[in-house]
Amino acid sequence: MTLKIALAQTNFLVGNIAANVDNIIKAANHARDELGADIVVFPELTISGYPAEDLLLRADFIVEANNAVYQLAEQVTGIALVVGFPELDGDKLYNSAVVLHQGVRLACYRKQALPNYGVFDEQRYFTEGDQPGVFEFNGTFIGLTICEDVWKSGIIDATKQAGAELLLTINASPYNSGKIHQREAIISRQVKAAQIPLVYVNQIGGQDELIFDGASFVTDAQGDIVFRAEEFKEQISVIEFDGNKPLTNICVPLYNEIDSDYQALVLGIKDYVRKNSFQGAILGLSGGIDSALVLALAVDALGHDKVEAVLMPSRYTQDMSNEDAVLEAKALGVKYHIISIEPAVNAFTGMLAEVFAGTAKDTTEENIQARCRGVILMALSNKKGKLLLTTGNKSEMSVGYATLYGDMAGGFAPIKDVPKLLVYQLARFRNTLSWVIPERVITRPPSAELAPDQVDENSLPPYDILDPILERYVELDQSAEEIIAAGFRREDVVRAITLVDRNEYKRRQSPPGIRITSKAFGRDRRYPITSGYRGI
Amino acid sequence: MTLKIALAQTNFLVGNIAANVDNIIKAANHARDELGADIVVFPELTISGYPAEDLLLRADFIVEANNAVYQLAEQVTGIALVVGFPELDGDKLYNSAVVLHQGVRLACYRKQALPNYGVFDEQRYFTEGDQPGVFEFNGTFIGLTICEDVWKSGIIDATKQAGAELLLTINASPYNSGKIHQREAIISRQVKAAQIPLVYVNQIGGQDELIFDGASFVTDAQGDIVFRAEEFKEQISVIEFDGNKPLTNICVPLYNEIDSDYQALVLGIKDYVRKNSFQGAILGLSGGIDSALVLALAVDALGHDKVEAVLMPSRYTQDMSNEDAVLEAKALGVKYHIISIEPAVNAFTGMLAEVFAGTAKDTTEENIQARCRGVILMALSNKKGKLLLTTGNKSEMSVGYATLYGDMAGGFAPIKDVPKLLVYQLARFRNTLSWVIPERVITRPPSAELAPDQVDENSLPPYDILDPILERYVELDQSAEEIIAAGFRREDVVRAITLVDRNEYKRRQSPPGIRITSKAFGRDRRYPITSGYRGI
């Protein structure tokens, strides 16, 4: 008996239940009519979107999501649907997968493993299920699992013991660099141990900090991947099974990690702008590598006609910075403005002269320059309805090498989770597609250009030392002593860690940005501001 | 057999294990030598501070906290200690209470009820305990419980059934308005049902958003409160028991709610400044009610010599605003500066003239004024090492009636969780202690003074309508239809809710502020920015 299963790798909007239901219906009709599918499988919490966060605490939202399941059951015929929804039962909420067919609920499975670590807060909202989910369809016994269920041991086995011959897994598995290899390896191993084929459907799209990368797949009972959908794209695919045996072997090859990171950043910008209804994006273009990369990402995400750049030179801006910024804007075909910040800086200097009389120059004067740029950029953003992109990277965010309300001003921070060394790699990668970033921008020493002859390395260890220290301290939670033992100089470790510890207050007010590492600043890393902990 | 139990209502610093251990030793020695106590009981997670958030994921931090328990056991003699710590056992972490006496661990209890709602994330860090904790001391069987344990039914009963005659409960129970009544009522009822006396020790102090209010207490077996410590103050008290019968009846009377809220705000400012080592605080003083209240709170928290005010008039500032601001600064004895923002506003207007040519004036021009004030205030804060306090209230934060990087600029937002109507009540309350806010400031219609003849009620429903709508929507998660059914006009509800929904992005970049309601913006209310949910 053959069975055609469609994998609906969809990009839905969190919170918009009515639109999500419409899109489910369209996708189901397409899978039935164009692809001849018997079953169509959607990602985790399809109806609410994932993660809906505290919307899940609103009674009106939950009632609407539960009513939507009835509506779907009535409106889709001729194909079975597997959709995720926040299932209300009494005063308990479950993260559930329901199977609808010809107006009937064939099965409803409640997620058993609720992740509550990293970016996940599922135990804030949901009660754990305690039963495997198995249903019969066209003579095949099909098991249901949801995301974390198949990362933990035991649940696949229990589902098989309950009679399942084939597993459907619905997911909202967020991207980080290298995650796809980890995901496929762990799930293949579990499948192989249990000797049961598995259909894995992941959502795609950007949702605030998170990117979902798709790359849905099918494994046979030996854990070999026999189908893989594209990364970072919406796609509905159909796979034919003979009983529980997949009759296919079409795998889209995986991107390399740099390419994947680049795609993730482009998708993140595109979806944040689109889903929040901005008219486009603007950014400050300094002639440095960070803004050069963000400009390229923004244009690749939105198109050159939706992006504007602003050059805001001061007395400390070198000519080559302006020249290179203009080259970048021209290479990408974006409109640019040149607005010197000198009149505003002079005005503030005069206004503050009396209260600052007798004090020495310090970072205050540097911050005023950065904040004048922030005012200009926000004025343009407000007037034009375009999203202001900030251009700070993860190394800067880590050590606080940025000005609050200055270069940190903006609605979205695309490369906030990209360490400086990776910024260089991504810039070089982008230039291999087409030349958009002058070589000099990549090779000259980075500088904030807020004081005469300033370069980053006067204040910070060189990035090829700083970045690995930060990765160990921030992402891997290593102690100072462990990092020193790994071969780093004590003074560099002390400097880096002290700055990370002191700058939590800045990060708390930074705009959201795209998570591409295994631990981003944001919902991933929740540190107190008021803290006596010193990593060193 | 008599037993003297000391309640150590302490204010410790999250993350500083060495200092916390020193303070435990000092308090224990004081309880032994000055108060003649047999046992001294400290709050929940004494050693790490509460909430330590993701510091609890650091191996070095956990090892240090566990080693500190050995150190305490050796260094304190002649008195038993009950302290809270993050107990590591294999790869599991527990929220535990350990009893140390003469170098020996008499007992170690693992918290069974781990709250993971509201501001709490305990399931992110801890594994649940599954055993009651009872130990014998001087012939009395004493049970141990931790915070949430005594709010849920079942755990007190199980502890009594395991032999306890008297309960010690260690807590980190955060303040919100009216919480103390709820806390005492629930725990008294549980105690009465189980017929077991209870000693409740709560921490005090401010920790980022949270205020812990102390008000530790003792109930007899009938649930009657026979001792209550002060609210908002560090205090070590000793209570004598005859077996399990408390021999005391000294209850500090409770503050009324307005007074409590005021004390909470003062403590929050004081601890944020002190624990983060600022030199004092500065704020912009507009002549409006919000900044008048924040000034009074700051002076009551820090002393008049630690606070500076800045008046920043523009062409739209009325004379009475300047006059009243000066009166407030003089009444409280704080240094103040007057810096007109006109030169900077004119500079930006000129710089933007070309790109803004042909566009109509809108909120962009208003925001530029607010942002010029932000630049001035941050420059003073940077130069002087003083914390910039923002003066926005909860009503404004809810509807986004504030300028990002303008009046929202600052390190701490004391009245961020205070609705506008409560701002008025607190101002009137403060004037009953001593006259500091001119009557006209309280009675004139509120205005942002960013455009000619502007008053808040041109943009928003009147606050006596807006505030109750916001309370229902934000704090109680009611739907629009429920709010309308409660008697509010549909157009007011639509206006308010639409603004709340649209302004999550602003709140995400706002500074932390003091939580005094049952749901504050911050870790309490976690909404997506990108969201298709519309409450209306």
CATH no. for residue A197? 3.60.110.10
Could you tell me how many CB contacts below 8 A there are between chain A and chain B?
239
Test the B interface: residue of A12, A337, A345, A530 with most B CBs within 10 Å:
A530
Rounded CA gap, B273 and B302, in Å?
A: 8
Dihedral, CA of residue B90, residue B92, residue B93 and residue B95, to nearest 10: -110
- Among A397, A429, A452, the domain-final residue is A452
Chain B residues near residue A52 by CB distance under 8 angstroms: 528, 533
A446 falls within a domain: yes
B22 falls within a domain: yes
Per the omega criterion (within 30 degrees of 0), is the bond before B512 cis? no
Question: Does B530 sit within 8 Å of A275, measured CB to CB?
Answer: yes
Rounded CA gap, B64 and B22, in Å?
A: 14
Rounded CA gap, B413 and B394, in Å?
A: 10
Place B523 in a pLDDT band, splitting at 50, 70 and 90: very high
ipTM score over 0.90, yes or no: yes
B397 falls within a domain: yes
Least confident of B99-108, B242-251, B292-301, B524-533: B242-251
Question: Does B530 sit within 8 Å of A271, measured CB to CB?
Answer: yes
Which of B87, B108, B147, B506 is flagged as catalytic? B147
Which of A108, A147, A184, A366 is flagged as catalytic? A147
Of all residues in chain B, the one with the smallest CA distance to A60 is B479
**A4 tagged catalytic:** no
What SS3 class is residue B114? coil
- Among A236, A254, A272, the domain-final residue is A254
- Picking from A14, A375, A482, the nearest residue to B531 by CB comes out as A14
Same domain? B166 vs B95 = yes
How many beta carbons lie within 10 A of that of residue B389, not counting itself? 29
pLDDT at A458 (0 to 100) = 85
Same domain? A316 vs A422 = yes
Q: For the segment B301-353, what is each residue's pLDDT rounded down to a tens digit? A: 999 999 999 999 999 999 999 999 999 999 999 999 999 999 999 999 999 99
pLDDT at B536 (0 to 100) = 79
Same domain? A136 vs A190 = yes
Residue B9's contacts (CB-CB under 8 Å, 6 or more residues apart) are B43, B201, B202, B203, B204, B214, B216, B229, B230, B233, B234, B235, B236, B237
Same domain? B268 vs B167 = no
A528 falls within a domain: no
Query: How high does pLDDT run on average in chain B?
Result: 96
B499 falls within a domain: no
pLDDT at B458 (0 to 100) = 85
- Picking from B55, B116, B340, the nearest residue to A533 by CB comes out as B55
Which residue range(s) make up the domain with A266? 260-452
Of all residues in chain A, the one with the smallest CA distance to B363 is A382
Smallest CA–CA separation between A528 and chain B, in Å? 6
- Residue whose entry in the numeric block shows the structure tokens 């630049």: B375
Of all residues in chain B, the one with the smallest CA distance to A372 is B375
Chain A residues near residue B481 by CB distance under 8 angstroms: 60
Q: Are A97 and A123 in contact (CB under 8 A)?
A: no
Q: Single out the residue of A130, A170, A126 nearest to residue A147, CA to CA.
A: A170
Rounded CA gap, A194 and A159, in Å?
A: 10
Question: Does A341 sit within 8 Å of B60, measured CB to CB?
Answer: no
Same domain? A360 vs A385 = yes
Smallest CA–CA separation between B58 and chain A, in Å? 6
Of all residues in chain B, the one with the smallest CA distance to A361 is B383
pLDDT at A456 (0 to 100) = 87
B172 falls within a domain: yes
Amino acid letter at A351?
M
Task: Please tell me the number of Cα atoms within 13 Å of B262 on its side-chain side.
Answer: 22
Place B479 in a pLDDT band, splitting at 50, 70 and 90: very high
- Picking from A116, A207, A346, the nearest residue to B123 by CB comes out as A116
Same domain? A379 vs A300 = yes
Structurally, chain B folds into a number of domains equal to 2
Same domain? B278 vs B393 = yes
Test the B interface: residue of A345, A375, A376 with most B CBs within 10 Å:
A375
Rounded CA gap, B463 and B457, in Å?
A: 8
Test the A interface: residue of B376, B509, B514, B521 with most A CBs within 10 Å:
B509
Q: How many H-runs (helices) and E-runs (strands) does chain B carry?
A: 17, 20
Q: Are A420 and A288 in contact (CB under 8 A)?
A: no
Rounded CA gap, B24 and B72, in Å?
A: 8
B521 falls within a domain: no
- Picking from B49, B510, B532, the nearest residue to A13 by CB comes out as B532
Same domain? A52 vs A193 = yes
pLDDT at A110 (0 to 100) = 98
**Strand partners of residue B86:** B95
Which of B111, B179, B306, B394 is flagged as catalytic? B111
Chain A residues near residue B54 by CB distance under 8 angstroms: 525-527
Kindly give the parts of chain A with pLDDT less than 70.
none
Chain A residues near residue B376 by CB distance under 8 angstroms: 348, 351-352
Q: Single out the residue of B313, B388, B376 nearest to residue A367, CA to CA.
A: B376
Give the CA angle between residues A430, A436, A440 to the nearest 5°: 100
What does the DSSP assignment read for A47-65?
A: TT-S--GGGGG-HHHHHHH
**Strand partners of residue A427:** none
Does the structure show a pLDDT above 90 at B223?
A: yes
Question: Does A378 sit within 8 Å of B528, measured CB to CB?
Answer: no
Rounded CA gap, B265 and B211, in Å?
A: 8
Place B535 in a pLDDT band, splitting at 50, 70 and 90: confident
pLDDT at B10 (0 to 100) = 98
Same domain? B239 vs B367 = no
Does the structure show a pLDDT above 80 at B50?
A: yes
Same domain? B69 vs B139 = yes
Question: Does A508 sit within 8 Å of B508, measured CB to CB?
Answer: no
Residue B354's contacts (CB-CB under 8 Å, 6 or more residues apart) are none
Q: For the segment B146-170, what is each residue's pLDDT rounded down to a tens digit? A: 999 999 989 999 999 999 999 999 9
Smallest CA–CA separation between A245 and chain B, in Å? 39
Pairing of strands A39-41, B166-171: unpaired
Q: For the segment A7-62, what is each residue's pLDDT rounded down to a tens digit? A: 999 999 999 999 999 999 999 999 999 999 999 999 999 999 999 999 999 999 99
A509 falls within a domain: no
Same domain? B238 vs B294 = no
Question: Does B380 sit within 8 Å of A375, measured CB to CB?
Answer: no
Residue B527's contacts (CB-CB under 8 Å, 6 or more residues apart) are A53, A54, A55, B504
pLDDT at B249 (0 to 100) = 84
Same domain? A202 vs A336 = no
Question: Does A352 sit within 8 Å of B368, measured CB to CB?
Answer: no
Q: What is the CATH number of the domain that holds B278?
A: 3.40.50.620
- Picking from A16, A532, A535, the nearest residue to B533 by CB comes out as A16
Looking at residue A474, the DSSP 8-state letter turns out to be: I
Of all residues in chain A, the one with the smallest CA distance to B382 is A364
Helix, strand, coil % (nearest 5) of chain B? Answer: 40, 20, 40
Which of A111, A394, A416, A420 is flagged as catalytic? A111
pLDDT at A250 (0 to 100) = 85
pLDDT at A308 (0 to 100) = 98
Rounded CA gap, A496 and A507, in Å?
A: 15
pLDDT at B77 (0 to 100) = 95
Of all residues in chain A, the one with the smallest CA distance to B14 is A531
Strands (E), A222-365: 225-228, 235-242, 245-246, 250-251, 281-284, 307-311, 335-338
**A147 tagged catalytic:** yes
- Picking from A208, A272, A378, the nearest residue to B367 by CB comes out as A378
Helix (H) or strand (E) holding A21: helix A17-33
Question: pTM of the full predicted structure?
Answer: 0.97
Smallest CA–CA separation between B371 and chain A, in Å? 6
Of all residues in chain A, the one with the smallest CA distance to B408 is A405
Phi-psi sector, A118: left (phi>0), alpha (psi -120 to 50), beta = left
**A44 tagged catalytic:** yes
- Among B395, B427, B452, the domain-final residue is B452
- Picking from B49, B348, B481, the nearest residue to A344 by CB comes out as B348
- Cα B525 off chain centre by: 15
Q: Single out the residue of A213, A234, A449 nearest to residue A325, CA to CA.
A: A449
**pLDDT over 90 for what percent of chain B?**
95
Question: Does A362 sit within 8 Å of B383, measured CB to CB?
Answer: yes
